[in-house]
Structure 1
Amino acid sequence: MKQLFKKRLANHLTEMMKYLRLVFNDYFVLALVFLIGGLGYYYSNALKQLHSGIWWAPLLTIGVLLIGIQLGRFATLVQDPDYVFLLPQESEMVYYLRSAYRYSLVLACVTQVIIWIVLMPFVQVTLLATTSDLFYLLASILLLKAIWLNADFARKYRVKSRWVANRFLFRFLLPLAIFTISFYFEYWVGSLLTFLIILFSTVNSWRWGIRPLDWRTMIDDENNRMHTVYQFFNLFTDVPSLNGSVRRRRYLDWLLRRIRLIPENTYLYLYAHGILRDHEMGGLYFRLTVIGTLFLVFIKGEMLPIALCLIFLYLIGFQMIPFYFHFDDNAFVHIYPVTNDHQMKNFQRVLLIMLCAVATIFAIAVIAINYTNVVTIIGVIVGELLEVLAFIYLYVPRRIQRGQRSRNI
């Protein structure tokens, strides 16, 4: 079973590397460098203006840690057919799951250490935490994550005491209690309590292997985890294994009724309905818009808000380009008396409306936060206008032509 997990892990990492190469392309890496550098500069300047004794500092830190501890789930890498083919070896699956647990714990701990490093200066400045306090906090975070994964481990088995697999208890209530004790009482007390709990949880976990597996729950959990991973990759590239869904959104009918039903608007009708009703594409557009707006609401400066606006506008527009080919596999569209010129113009029109809506939201957010900075206000308006026009009428046609050549090979 250990060899089976190693083989699946190798295949899984190969697949992840394939998508990561597409995600971290030259453009995105460049945008990421500017984004991290800008946020780091803003963070360092903000720390200089803070002082100890701020009442909301521990509340904010607890909130960030609670969100951060949710990152990193139990990766079992099980598949749907395992319920049939591995059922005769169910008693050996405990060794498979322990290997999966160790892999998941290493990844989760790396993530938690990064979050701790980012928060460390803020905690030192606002809460006057000593070096030993910070390491006690780190121990609490890592042990809480181990407890979190232990609860997920127990969830894979049909244990008698269902509270040991209670997600709400170990994901939210216990971390909230430990962090509250650490920040409002003593850091070492929180660390000691988490150590005692993980000790009890680890000893108790040795008895789970003798119980029957809950195959359906285990497979559903892994499918949900991979669906989340594929959704992230789908922000940057097409993921064939991600099945889309269509939803009827009646509250948006007032937008669609404005399309004139004439032959020249055939693809305009298809693209507008498709993007609004497609769960993946519509959700992608909405999520990126919300994330970009939240960044802009908390960023204040002269050039950084402008750069963030342009970066997020580019990312949103770039993710919409593959939808141009969405209807190519539908045989009926090829019998329409519509030329490719009409298709391109209709797609550009849909993109223009979508990006103008996003640009307006971003501009309002930037102006509301930086209303005293004339350079920022003018820069964001002019920059967004130039980028939208250049992206739609210069970049998109070339990108689509390149995509058509690659599809014809």
Structure 2
Amino acid sequence: MFNASQLWRKRLGQHAKETGRYLRLMFNDHLAFALLFFVAAFAYFYQQWLQTIPDNFPADWIIAIVLGALLTRSPIRTLLKEADTVFLLPAEYKMDKYFQRSFWYSFMIQLYIVTLALAALTPLYFAVFSERPSIWLLYLGIILVIFKIWNLLSSWWMLKERDANSRFMDMTIRLILNILTLFFFLQEDGYIYASITTVMFVLLLLYTYNTVGKKGIAWDLLIEKEDARMQAFYRLANMFTDVPHLRKKAKKRHLLVHLLTRGVPFNQKNTYTYLYRITFVRSSDYLGMYVRLFLLAIFFIFWIPNIWFKLAFALLFIYLSGFQLMTLWNHHRTIAWIDLYPVSIAEKKRSLVDFLLLLMLVKTLVLGIFLYFAASWQEMLMLWGVGGLFSFVFVETYVKKRLDKRLI
């Protein structure tokens, strides 16, 4: 006898076991220390900034946009697999309890994220709306819960719609209504407007349900979305450990490939030098991570007032770049023909170490230039000196030691 509830519990247990194993490897001592430093420093300077916040700061728009975006993004975690199109399709009429549990599981996970965002924005709320009673924050929390359920319902119904443009239009309209409702709620005389946008959201829900909500389940679309989310998690985990389930994608990026490889001599010992450079550019993981860390470092350099913390955050992001890019070593390990290269392991290791040092030095150089505009030329020279020395010591000691362990 088919039991949808039992199937959900089994799938959820397998999912928790697999993701938990990778999360333990991702949050190792180094990353935990970096996150602890990041959160503590951010909280300190966030509190300092709130004491000097200007009167015309658009806090209402900031709160509305951040929370509205989190409400709008409401994926449903179904935990379906590719084979389900064959084995579960005949039992579709018995899957109601399965999808109900997936809906509430998605709700609890996303409500936790919304709660964290609200907790982070609460000091800003009290700093700007200090004259309001604290009960207003409770009302805001109730609105977030109701709108999160509504957004999840709309997302679930739209997963029965195969037209990508229709799904994008629905998400865009929901985003606008979510932001406007929260913005009007934060205004002293915006109750009427917030009520109007709420009614419009309800009408949108009714329209969505009557047009696509009664359609049958689009199994292929549900499985495609679930697989995309798991692959995104695997790409993140692959920056810290080997993930055999990851399907790697390559992008062309001809100009960047040309810029990074034109100076590489065409000889045997530079085989892996060329390979690591085009892998860094064409992979869907490494270049994006490198650029994101760049942007975060620049933000903190300009936002943090204390010069020593500017330097500390710059060094932190330089370290994170080198630490996460070490996974280039295992990027091609499942491709057997690469082992046929007539190149020694020592040359392979030297190529990666040299490339990591180059990337860390480039980040040090550019962050130093931004530090010049955020502080002075003395701090720029200080970062160049300390960052360059740190990069060299890091790759010559820690990186080489880690690579030696992987060679055993």
> What is the TM-score with the length of structure 2 in the denominator?
0.87
1:42 counterpart residue number: 45
1:24 counterpart residue number: 27
Q: For residue 293 of structure 1, report the CA deviation from its aligned partner.
A: 3.0
Q: Hey, what's the Cα distance between the residues in 2 that align with 1:308 and 1:136?
A: 37
Shifted more, 27-36 versus 148-157: the winner is 148-157
Query: Taking structure 1 as reference, are residues 93 and 342 closer, same or farther at Cα in structure 2, changes over 3 Å only?
Result: same
Q: Hey, what's the Cα distance between the residues in 1 that align with 2:223 and 2:50?
A: 45
- Kept after mapping to 2: 8 A contact 1:293/1:361: no
1:214 partner letter: A
Asked if 1:87 corresponds to 2:92, the answer is: no
Could you report, residue by residue, the CA deviation over 1:345-381 in whole angstroms, capped at 9, with x for unpaired residues?
Answer: 222221122111122222223332233xx77545433
Asked if 1:268 corresponds to 2:273, the answer is: yes
Q: Which of 226, 232, 249 does residue 253 from structure 2 map onto? A: 249
1:120 counterpart residue number: 122
1:85 partner letter: F
Q: Hey, what's the Cα distance between the residues in 1 that align with 2:158 and 2:101?
A: 16
Q: Structure 1, unaligned stretches of length 5 or more?
A: none
Q: Which of 336, 341, 354 does residue 349 from structure 1 map onto? A: 354
Q: Which of 214, 237, 240 does residue 236 from structure 1 map onto? A: 240
Aligned residues: 400
Q: Secondary structure at the match of 2:307?
A: coil
Shifted more, 61-70 versus 348-357: the winner is 61-70
1:217 counterpart residue number: 221
- Kept after mapping to 2: 8 A contact 1:154/1:164: no
Could you report, residue by residue, the CA deviation over 1:302-354 in whole angstroms, capped at 9, with x for unpaired residues?
Answer: 22222222222222111221222444555554454433332222222211221
Q: For residue 400 of structure 1, report the CA deviation from its aligned partner.
A: 0.3
Q: For residue 51 of structure 1, report the CA deviation from its aligned partner.
A: 5.4
Shifted more, 29-38 versus 319-328: the winner is 319-328
Shifted more, 240-249 versus 390-399: the winner is 240-249
1:248 partner letter: K
- % identical equivalent positions: 25
Could you report, residue by residue, the CA deviation over 1:375-409 in whole angstroms, capped at 9, with x for unpaired residues?
Answer: 7545433331121001111111110011122xxxx
- Kept after mapping to 1: 8 A contact 2:181/2:194: yes
Could you report, residue by residue, the CA deviation over 1:162-219 in whole angstroms, capped at 9, with x for unpaired residues?
Answer: 9899632454121022022112334697489659956995999799886421222222
- Kept after mapping to 1: 8 A contact 2:157/2:208: no
- Kept after mapping to 2: 8 A contact 1:317/1:351: yes
Could you report, residue by residue, the CA deviation over 1:29-48 in whole angstroms, capped at 9, with x for unpaired residues?
Answer: 11111110000000110111
- Kept after mapping to 1: 8 A contact 2:184/2:190: yes
2:112 partner letter: V
Q: Hey, what's the Cα distance between the residues in 1 that align with 2:290 and 2:153?
A: 36
2:355 partner letter: V
Asked if 1:139 corresponds to 2:142, the answer is: yes
- Kept after mapping to 2: 8 A contact 1:293/1:365: yes
Query: Taking structure 1 as reference, are residues 334 and 82 closer, same or farther at Cα in structure 2, changes over 3 Å only?
Result: closer
2:182 counterpart residue number: 179
Q: How does 1:146-157 map to 2 (within 5 A)?
A: 146-157=149-160
Shifted more, 28-37 versus 173-182: the winner is 173-182
Query: Taking structure 1 as reference, are residues 96 and 201 closer, same or farther at Cα in structure 2, changes over 3 Å only?
Result: farther
Q: Hey, what's the Cα distance between the residues in 2 that align with 1:201 and 1:167?
A: 10
